[in-house]
Structure 1
Amino acid sequence: MKNFFPKIFLIISSLILSYLLYRSEIVWNGLNRNYYYPYYIFSIIFFIFSIVSFFLNKKIKLYLGITSISFVTALYLFEFFYINFKKTKINPENISEYETKTGKKYDTRSKLQFYKDKKKNEEIFVTVNPVSFIQSGIKNKKIFKLSGISNSKTINCNENGYYSIYLSDRYGFNNPDEMWDSKEIEYMVVGDSFTQGQCVNRPHDIPSVLRSLSKGAVLNLGYGGNGPLIEYAVLREYIEPNVKNILWIYYENDLKDLKKEIKSPILSKYLENLSFSQNLKDKQDLIDEINKNIISHYFSYSFHIINFIKLYNTRETIRYYLSNKKKINLSEKIKNNYDDTNFKLFEKILLNSKDLAKKNNSNFYFIYLPNSRHVYNYRMGKMNTEYLTIKKIIKKLSINSIYLEDELSNIIDDPMKLIPFKNSGHYTVSGYKIISELIYKKIKESN
């Protein structure tokens, strides 16, 4: 057939480009263009190449066709073997250390396998981060849900050798449900995964430790992946009139999420209209339904087939190795992730949050959680631009602030001890305890 391979190239390149536009602009609503940018470049080059191939001589067309078939076959073989034979990489030393210390077996199962095994004997779910709602493909997007499934055993994550599980409250957060019935709430805490308590069991998360130290009611409104705008929306939807103190816990990667969040039509309404509300407390049944649909979607057979067709693991492997080889100056990273627009939005969000707390007769605290590298840099007198700019914003807004790097430098010889196996991730049980005690101490000192 004349021009067989050029026609195939043109059809495939057109389909890829159309699919990218659909994912980027319809499913993601333009929120994740940076992620799709290299794929756009590839697909456009491929599309141009497919047109040019019509004008090549017959012999070159044949060579290109055979080479392309061989290359694509190799990619799918890699994907097949990755799915069927690759196991989650766990350092054998970590396994040995955990089993020696605890006398328990290190759980090497993937989250999917753990979920499937637990689900055989009980009703159980997994955490569904609010940001995952954007990319889930679920059609019902009349609301932007901000919490998980209510009153349910919920699988969180495994970084310490075991999967953390908690029983969610009436609104899908990591709390004993009776906290919502308290006459007075000592602390209402908003934040991301570090606030939520990944990957430890209750009562080792920050709000639970504060609950123990204060002997009062504490509400944990943290959820993995949350950025500043989602956290502000959470406050607007779930604030209680009897809250004494609102704690805004900020971790070092939170600000980069703001670019995506502000492009959400629903989330942006919280900044545009101070009286806007989704009335999420009255829509928990719908939120539960949406979360369950997302879980079904991600754990469905069809989802994994689609991922295979899309060479998901192959692409992620390439992205991983490329990102590790890229040597980008730290100041460039900060410039890219934390531009002036982001800082201005962040300032507006914090000002609104402070005003909301004031109207509620609540004290408002901003708490900056450092990672281990930040503590090392602090000891050496090196602070990054993002940190310094945020401190200026907090000072400008006259917000009660808590920074922990000084105390951590004094009480911990090696900041890597805060995280599992001195590797990466969230805090250990002892790490959460140290951080929580410092927060509580600083709050008491400020009163």
Structure 2
Amino acid sequence: MRPPPKERWFANLVLVSASVASAGAGLLALGTARSFQVGMARQSLLVGGPFCLGAGFLACLRLPLPRRVTLAMTLISLVAAAYIAETYLRELPFLRLRLAARRFGIPFDARNQFEVVRDLRKIGTDVYPVTFPAWQGLPSQEAAVLPLGGISSVTTVFCNEMGQYVVYRSDEHGFHNPQGIWSSGRCELGVLGDSFTQGACVPTEQNFVELLRRDYPATLNLGMVGNGPLLMLAGLKEYLTQLRPGIVLWVYTEGNDLTFDLNREKRFTRLTDYLLPEHRQGLLARQPECDAFLRGLMDREYISREADTMQMSAPGRFWRLWSLRQALGLQVGEIKLASSRVDLPLFRRILEEARRTTQGWGGKLYFVYLPAEARYHEEKYRREYDWARGQVLSIIEDLRLPLIDLHLPVSRHPDIPELYAHRGAHFSPAGNRLVADTILETLRSSTGK
């Protein structure tokens, strides 16, 4: 008696589909691995594994029909379970955001960034989402200018980790500073860094750079989302060499500056050129050019699109089980803090050039160490971060840079989660106060102010 054709068709379709999906996953992993310059061992595992699995599914077509049907049902159950888990993990950040809003007593804004921009534009506001020079400007090699700040003098929609979006008016060069600070010509403290320095994601008056203005009113914030060591050096040489503050804070973020950021930045000669002593773009005099470039870029990539395309390939991420793979440590581009992934000599050269440049006008460079939130609740991250921390602190000591180490006060805090908006987020208002107080305490003892 021949087996029912529907059962045979069902089993074969599932196995062939699983084989094709596995091969597709392997090709996707291969492309991503090349983009992230993943090591050969990890690349072989994450690329070869899916291809082998796909071949195995094809081989299963030779099994007896009852076994094929059982295997097909098992595969469907596993796939369904995986996408249920993916759905939960995708919603988890929004759940944390709602809980954070309740914790801080803030009404929860469920809109995405595009919707906030759209609603503000409806009432006539000149508004843009925060720009990402690290992501948006660097790939545009044909552009005549590489902006380091955002669009100048516009309402800027930043981020939301506490329930409400941080919205501020950018300064004359697109940074998060009070209007008029550049025209005053006076700067006593310059701060370089990434999104932590820029003020993510607390109200402006509660970010740590704003709190530093209590003692240093003429403080210039050059923090931008995604900045790594080379972009920070670029900001120092383009802007601070003109204003010459007596104190420069180099705010290092553990967990991405030395690995992901630096490994991306060093691929662009536009940034490595800043290691040359006299290299400049002359950005202080080119803000209209920067604005035109960034407005065009943002209009094309964000504002002119429909709201659903603003999710940065969210549907594609869902079907690729992005959140689940991240939770399981199966991200192709996952950064490991192994010596093969960290360019310590380049990091040292960058700091040497930053120190030399700052000393050239009589200023003093301080190294501020911000610890990664993950080190306090995940052992695997703590071990990796400890290794990198030792390497970084050794360089700082060798270069004789004054160190302001936030790991010690954070680790000694009686309620570490209170210092962050939520798991995986930036500092909360309490965390920003701790950062500002620690920096001011060190500066007071060092300068006598």
Partner of 2:264: 260
**Deviates further, 120-129 or 5-14:** 5-14
The one-letter amino acid paired with 2:427 is Y
Distance change >3 Å, CA 209–CA 108, structure 1 → 2: same
Which residue does the alignment assign to 1:89? 95
> Number of matched residues?
419
* Contact 2:97–2:163 (Cα < 8 Å) also in 1: no
Partner of 1:289: 296
Mapped to 2, the partners of 1:384 and 1:125 lie a distance apart of 39
CA distance in 1, matches of 2:150, 2:220: 15
Cα deviation for residue 375 of structure 1 reads 7.8
Structure-2 residue corresponding to 1:206: 208
CA contact (8 A) 1:187 1:218 kept: yes
Q: What's 1:130 paired with?
A: 133
Which amino acid in the other structure matches residue 90 of structure 1?
R
Query: Which SS does the other structure have where 1:88 is aligned?
Result: helix
Distance 2:306 2:236 in 1: 31
Shift, 1:414, TM fit:
2.2
CA contact (8 A) 1:31 1:264 kept: no
- Deviation, 1:249, is 0.8
Decide which moves more: 222-231 or 77-86.
77-86
For 2:425, what is the secondary structure of its paired residue?
coil
Residues in 2 aligned to 1:415 and 1:12: alpha-carbon distance in whole angstroms: 43
Match of 1:414 in 2: 415
Question: Aligned-residue CA RMSD in angstroms?
Answer: 4.7
Aligned partner of 2:104 in structure 1 is 98
Q: Per-residue CA shift, 1:86-131, capped at 9, x if unaligned?
A: 99323765444333xxxx5222333344344334333322123233
Q: 1:18 Cα deviation (Å)?
A: 7.2
**Cα 1:311–1:175, aligned 2, differ >3 Å: closer, same or farther?**
closer
Unaligned runs of 5+ in 2: 1-11
Tell me by how many angstroms 1:218 deviates.
Answer: 1.1
* Residues 189 and 216 in structure 2, CA contact (< 8 A), matched pair in contact too: no
Query: Is contact 2:192-2:251 (8 Å) kept?
Result: yes
Residue 394 of structure 2 corresponds to 392
How is 1:183-332 mapped onto 2 (pairs within 5 angstroms)? Answer: 183-215=185-217, 217-244=218-245, 245-253=247-255, 254-257=257-260, 258-271=262-275, 273-281=276-284, 282=286, 283-284=289-290, 285-296=292-303, 308=315, 310-312=316-318, 314-323=320-329
Q: How has the CA–CA distance of structure 1 residues 7 and 226 changed in structure 2, closer, same or farther, with 3 Å as cutoff?
A: same
Structure 1: tracts of 5 or more residues without a match: 327-332
Instruction: Determine helix, strand or coil for the equivalent of 1:219.
Output: strand
- Where do 1:106-125 residues align within 5 Å? 106-121=108-123, 122-125=125-128
**CA distance 1:306–1:436, change in 2 (3 Å):** closer
Q: Percent identity?
A: 23
CA distance in structure 2 between the aligned counterparts of 1:234 and 1:428, rounded to whole angstroms: 26
Partner AA of 1:98 in structure 2: F
Query: Partner of 2:96: helix, strand, or coil?
Result: coil
- State the partner residue of 1:355: 356
Asked if 1 retains the 8 angstrom alpha-carbon contact of 2:100 and 2:161, the reply is: no
Q: What corresponds to 2:404 in structure 1?
A: 402
* SS of residue matched to 1:177: coil
Deviation at 1:22, TM superposition (A): 6.7
Q: Give the deviation of 1:440 after TM superposition.
A: 1.5
The residue aligned with 1:329 is none
Query: Normalising by structure 1, what TM-score?
Result: 0.74
State the alpha-carbon separation in 2 of the partners of residues 269 and 234 from structure 1: 13
Residues 112/79 of structure 1: CA separation in 2 closer, same or farther (3 Å cut):
farther
Q: Tell me the CA shift for residue 20 of structure 1.
A: 6.8
CA distance in 2, matches of 1:7, 1:300: 36
Aligned-pair CA distance for 1:313: 5.5
Q: Distance in 2 between matches of 1:23 and 1:407?
A: 38
1:146 aligned partner: 148
- Residue type at the aligned position of 2:359: K
Q: Residue deviations 1:109-155, cap 9 Å, x none? A: 333443443343333221232332279x7685565442222211111
Q: How far apart are 1:48 and its partner, in Å?
A: 6.4
Tell me by how many angstroms 1:339 deviates. 4.6
Whether the 8 Å contact between 2:252 and 2:369 is mirrored in structure 1 is: yes
Normalising by the residue count of structure 2, what TM-score does the alignment of the two structures yield? 0.74
Distance of 1:340 and 1:14 partners within structure 2? 28
SS in 2 for 1:180: coil
Give deviations 1:157-212, integer Å, cap 9, x for gaps. Answer: 11222111111122221112311122320111001111111011222222211123
Aligned residues of 1:126 and 1:155 also touching (Cα < 8 A)? yes
SS in 1 for 2:180: helix
Distance 1:108 1:138, change over 3 A: same
Q: Say which of 158, 161, 174 aligns to 1:159.
A: 161
Partner residue, 1:346: 347
